[in-house]
Amino acid sequence: MNAAIFLEKRSNLFWILLGSLSVIFLGLVDYLTGYELSFSLFYLAPIALISWFKQRKFGLLVSVISAITWVAADYLGGNRYSNLTIFAWNMFIRLGFFVIVTLLLSALRDAYKKNQALARMDFVSGAVSASHFYDVARIEIERSARYKKPFTFAYIDLDNFKKVNDVLGHSTGDRVLRAVTEHVHGQIRLADTFARLGGDEFALLLPETDEDKAKSVIPRIHSILTEAMHEQGWEVTFSIGAVTYQQPPESVDEMVKLADGVMYTIKTNSKNGVAFHLYAV
C-alpha cells in the first residue's frame, strides 16, 4: 500500500488530530521564535494536506484553527500593534489566505478525482476502460499468486457488430455496446470487472472463480446477452473464450492472448458460443 492510499483511508478523527496537533506545534515554534520571524507560510502545510486528502470542511476548520493559533502566538510573543485595527486586519488577511488555499486545493482535488474516474471508464459503452482493466488485472494476478486463489478471465467478441454499424449506423452500434455493458453489470459482482478492450471486444475478470463457477456464470451471461440482442432486433451474437487460472499467468498480455485464442475457436467455427479452458502449471 503506497502512502497516498494509506492517507486516503485514514479516519476523520485521524485528520482532525493530525491537523490540530500540527498547527499547535507550529504555533509553539512561532511563539518561541518571537514575532520578528514569520511562520505564516508553515501553517499551510497541514492545511494543504487536509484539504487534499479530506473534505473541504476539514480544511476550513484547520484554516480557522491556524488563524487563531497565529493570533495567539503573535500576541503572546510580545508583538504590540499601534492600533487594534491593524492586528484585526492581519488576522483576517491570514485567515482569508488560508481559506483561499483550502478552496483552491479542494477544487483541484475534485477535478483530479473526476478525471481519474473518467480515465477508468470507456465513454461509449460505460464499461471499464482498457487501461484501467490492465491495472486491475495485474493486481489480480499478483493477488492470485500470493493467496493461491483461482480466477477466471473471459474474452468476449461481438459477432456481426460491423454489420450493425454499416447497416444501422454508429449510433445504433453505440447503443449495442451500452446494452451489453448494462446486461453484464446486472449479472456480476462488485468484485468483478467488465471492460471494453476496443472495438467490439470486451473482457470479464472474475476473481476467486473456479472452473465450476465459471461454467455456471458465463453461459448465463451469454444467454442473457443473446436474448437482449434478439429483443432489440439486432443481429448480434457472442463468441466467448473463458480461461480459469488455477495458477496465475506471467502477465496480463499472456492472460488476454490465451483467452483470445480460446474465443477464436468459437469465432472460426459456428460463432455464437462459449468455450472453456483450464490453465494449470
- DSSP labels, 217-242: HHHHHHHHHHHHHHHHT---EEEEEE
> Looking at residue 238, what is its pLDDT?
97
Summarised one tens digit per residue, pLDDT across range 95-146 is 888 899 888 888 888 887 777 666 788 989 999 999 999 999 999 999 999 9
Phi, psi for 271 (deg, rounded to 5): 65, 180
> Looking at residue 28, what is its pLDDT?
87
Summarised one tens digit per residue, pLDDT across range 212-236 is 999 999 999 999 999 999 999 999 9
> Which residues does 245 contact at the CB level (< 8 Å), separation at least 6?
144, 150, 151, 152, 153, 255, 279
> Looking at residue 86, what is its pLDDT?
81
Ranges of the chain whose pLDDT falls below 50: 1
> Which residues does 246 contact at the CB level (< 8 Å), separation at least 6?
150, 210, 278, 279, 280
> Looking at residue 49, what is its pLDDT?
85
Contact 114, 90 (CB under 8 A): no
> Looking at residue 221, what is its pLDDT?
97
Burial 9-23 (b: 16+ CB within 10 A, else e): eeeeeebbebbbebb
> Looking at residue 118, what is its pLDDT?
67
> Looking at residue 270, what is its pLDDT?
83
Q: Could you tell me the CA-to-CA distances from 163 to 159, 178, 189 in Å, in that order?
A: 9, 17, 32
User: Cell 476467486 identifies what position?
Assistant: 208
